């Protein structure tokens, strides 16, 4: 009579998982084993690629932690680049605003100069007198 090598229960009335390395375990034990992130066969220590249970094949896919870390780094780099680009856009908008202010200032000062020359504005003249004194 066969039994599960982990819990030593008879295989008669329980679900039997057969790994690709041809080792048999009850489904409860193998699932507990896999739940602990163990991907190696409890008996021969080969990595389990798949196991059969009631004629259903379950494939085990390992997600490589190095690859996920690289993806994290790539995401971080992308975020840093995005932040740099958005700050550059903000900077350029500030530059445009400064230019507009500068142009406005130049225009106003030009107007003031014209009114000074033509003496058409009394207020400007007064300001000017104060400045001249
Ligand atoms: Zn078992
Ligand atoms: Zn095995």
Q: Which ligand is nearest to the CA of 17?
A: 1
pLDDT at position 78 is 72
Tally of CB atoms within 10 A around 49? 13
Can you give the pTM of this predicted structure?
0.48
Which residue's entry shows tokens 């329980």?
14
Q: Which ligand is nearest to the CA of 15?
A: 1
| 132 Cα: distance to centroid of ligand 1 (angstroms) | 103
Q: Which ligand is nearest to the CA of 44?
A: 2
| 62 Cα: distance to centroid of ligand 2 (angstroms) | 17
User: How are strands ordered across the β-sheet holding 50-53?
Assistant: 24-26, 16-19, 50-53, 56-59
Q: How confident is the model at residue 79 (pLDDT cuts 50, 70, 90)?
A: confident
- In this predicted structure, the answer to whether residue 60 has a pLDDT above a threshold of 90 is no
């Amino acid at each position: 009579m066969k039994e599960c090598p982990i819990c030593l229960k008879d295989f008669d009335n329980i679900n039997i998982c057969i790994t690709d390395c041809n080792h048999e375990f009850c489904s409860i034990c193998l699932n507990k084993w896999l739940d602990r992130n163990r991907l190696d066969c409890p008996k021969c220590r080969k990595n389990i690629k798949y196991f059969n249970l009631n004629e259903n094949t379950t494939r085990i896919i390992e997600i490589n932690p190095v690859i996920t870390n690289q993806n994290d780094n790539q995401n971080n780099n992308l975020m840093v680049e995005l932040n740099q680009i958005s700050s550059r856009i903000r900077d350029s908008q500030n530059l445009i605003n400064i230019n507009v202010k500068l142009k406005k200032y130049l225009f106003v000062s030009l107007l003031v100069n014209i009114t000074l020359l033509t003496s058409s504005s009394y207020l400007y003249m007064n300001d000017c007198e104060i400045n001249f004194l």
